[in-house]
Amino acid sequence: MTIHKEGYKILTVLLIILALVNIGLQYLFPQHSQLLSIVLAISTLIYILILQFFRSPKRTVEINEKFIIAPADGKVVVIEEVVETEFLKDNRRQVSIFMSPINVHINRNPISGIVSYFKYHAGKYLVAWHPKSSTENERTTMVIQTTQGESILLRQIAGALAKRIVWYCKEGMEVKQGEEFGFIKFGSRVDLFLPLDAKINVKIGQKTKGGKTIIAELN
């Protein structure tokens, strides 16, 4: 298990702050050993919790141009037919994955292809399961055009806790299935907008593993 690059700065700053707090308390209250032990235990717990947010497990991805694989670890919270109004402007099957604070927060390309559209949207920070979070929250929208001519729209969505979306892609870039395209710090939600004739392989409430779980199969 390694630590993702997005966590280096946060973890370093946090370590310094917690170290200074504990050293300062030892200097100010050297006789209060019980208090010092409690603060040290709390500091250690906080650091471990933040540390696990940025874990980066190694995963082997089996490339398959017919499969749409999970872009994130989490739980399937939405499977429904919707009208995608930003770019595709047609009926799509939306599959949404909620990322809790304890999930791995790396986002991966669900399929290989060319990024035909990318846009960042500033917005609100509604809770990730709010129906309007997909269109009103801070978010990014990316469309990958496959070698078969299919367009798959993918959306990173910030939530009430996750207020920092990171992306590593741009229009015209060639992307490979399973590779990282972004990171949502402290979790939130990722939406997929798939063709209506795609065979959905997941159910509401099912847990997903980024780069591994097969969300759908293209015809």
User: Which residues participate in catalysis according to the annotation?
Assistant: 188
A 10 A CB-CB count for 92 gives 22
DSSP per residue over the chain, as a string?
A: -EE-GGGHHHHHHHHHHHHHHHHHHHHH-TT-HHHHHHHHHHHHHHHHHHHHHTEE--------TTEEE-SSSEEEEEEEEEEETTTT-EEEEEEEEEE-TTS--EEE-SS-EEEEEEEEE--B---TTSTTHHHHBSEEEEEEE-TTS-EEEEEEE--SS---EEE---TT-EE-TTSEEEEETT-EEEEEEE-TTSEE---TT-EE-TTTSEEEE--
